[in-house]
Amino acid sequence: MTDKAKYIIDYLDEILKDARCALNYSKDYELVIAVMLSAQVTDNAVNKVSDVLFKRYPTLESLSQASYDDVCSIIKSLGLYKNKAQNVILIAQDILNNFDGKVPSSKKDLMSLRGVGNKTANVVRCELFSLPEFPVDTHINRISKRLNIAKENDDINTVEAKLKKVFPRDHYIKLHHQLIHFGRTICKSLSPKCNECKLQKYCKYYKDNYLK
């Protein structure tokens, strides 16, 4: 591991020791649905609607038979809610019909669920199965570029591959959560709190904005 990687790990452990998934769920399939719902919206917004959704439909069976219009009315505060409502029902049906009601762990099986792409599958693999994935969201993408781990025009898959190369496998899951929280609270998209941050010496954004 490089000095830079170790420094980042130690710093994030110092300020965000207990970072964890911010989506609420109590059953395996609820996590899959919550992650799918979180595309382009905040975890808080998802938690507000998923609380109602999972109480109204408390089992996989009930969710698989839910009325599309009713699911739309519950989640309509979320962007893309029409597609997402359809996916809620289809995911429940797929897990029930194709996987005996248990969320599968392989990426191929997860991505066979309708509405589940690479990032959602990776989040589920980390969170439910503790498998060493490094899902890249908007915060991790931005921070990786600011810290010169990835290049500005790298796509999400390239950023993920570079993160996996830089950091040891046993740190992937924790770092994933820590970087998301770091992006929400300190290294924000607009007006990052650089004066509070100890990563300045590795930061391209800091050099470009404060040292020129």
Instruction: Provide the binding-site residues for ligand SF4, judged by CB under 6 A.
Output: 146-147, 186-187, 192-194, 197, 199-200, 203, 205-206
Report in angstroms how near the CB of residue 42 gets to ligand SF4 at its nearest. 19
How far apart CA 63 and CA 25 sit, in angstroms, is 14
How far apart CA 81 and CA 26 sit, in angstroms, is 22
Report in angstroms how near the CB of residue 2 gets to ligand SF4 at its nearest. 17
Residue 29's H or E segment, with its range, is: helix 28-37
Six token digits for residue 165: 């190369």
Question: Does 137 participate in catalysis according to the annotation?
Answer: yes
Six token digits for residue 76: 């309509």
Among residues 111 and 186, whose Cβ is nearest to ligand SF4? 186
Could you count the other beta carbons within 10 Å of the beta carbon of residue 100?
8
Question: Does 76 participate in catalysis according to the annotation?
Answer: no
Among residues 103 and 143, whose Cβ is nearest to ligand SF4? 143
Report in angstroms how near the CB of residue 186 gets to ligand SF4 at its nearest. 5
Among residues 39 and 199, whose Cβ is nearest to ligand SF4? 199
Handedness of CA 82, 51, 21, 15 (dihedral sign): positive
Helices then strands, counting H and E runs in the chain, come out as 12, 0
Q: Which residue, 77, 82, 18, 14, is CA-closest to 50?
A: 77
Catalytic residue chosen out of the listed positions 43, 84, 94, 119 = 119
Catalytic residue chosen out of the listed positions 137, 145, 154, 164 = 137
Among residues 86 and 148, whose Cβ is nearest to ligand SF4? 148
Residue 78 near residue 37 (C-beta atoms within 8 A) = yes
Report in angstroms how near the CB of residue 196 gets to ligand SF4 at its nearest. 7
**Which are the catalytic amino acids?**
119, 137
